[in-house]
Amino acid sequence: MINLQVPIDEKTVRSLRVGDQVSLSGAALTARDRAHKYLVEEFVEASQPNNDERDNLLRIEQRLRDGVVYHCGPVVKEHEDGRVEFVSAGPTTSIREEGMEAEVIERFGVRAVIGKGGMGARTLSALKEHGAVYLHAIGGAATYLARNVERVDGAIHRDFGVPEAMWEIELKDFVAVVTMDSHGGSLHEEVREASASSLSGVLASMGQSPVDKQ
């Protein structure tokens, strides 16, 4: 088990390889579909951020520079004293953010993306170019993972709704596996290729080609 503490430097990230198990502690920011769209439209595509968003930009940069973005739509409990607690914090399917993740990694200097299911070629290229990794979290263990969210510090754009807001959180001993690294390695691509090869073999034994099957 490799212990990672946020902020994470590029040297540490580039020492990680597909298959490494990590325990992550420190600041992170949740971001799903609405948040990624907002980050790209407001801070990547726009020539200058809207004045109303400048404070949010500072908060986002503070969390993501050498930091962690977590594809997560939590369930939260709000206490009478104003404290917010995650009661469910499972990972969201990451491929939904494939069209935007590369830009977010580059713009904000993200070092780790947490999610489930892996991502595609554009994200893998960005991981390699900028020095970042994709961490696969345990699917189906949302309440267990919530225990590793030690603290909720706030939410950016709560008006997006609870699942889509960008929650500023502190992780403690959050366990995940490196499945895409900064050297071009992707366990997800290896599985896809192996599955395609197996399918071709099965179809060949039946006298069919993959094209015939379609």
Which is the catalytic residue, given 36, 71, 136, 188? 36
- 95 closest CA partner among 122, 131, 68, 73: 122
**How many C-beta atoms lie closer than 10 Å to residue 130's C-beta?**
17
Identify whether 79 is a catalytic site residue. no
Structure tokens at 64: 């993501």
Cβ contact 71:136 at 8 Å: no
**How many C-beta atoms lie closer than 10 Å to residue 14's C-beta?**
15
- 7 closest CA partner among 21, 29, 24, 26: 26
Q: Which residues are catalytic?
A: 36
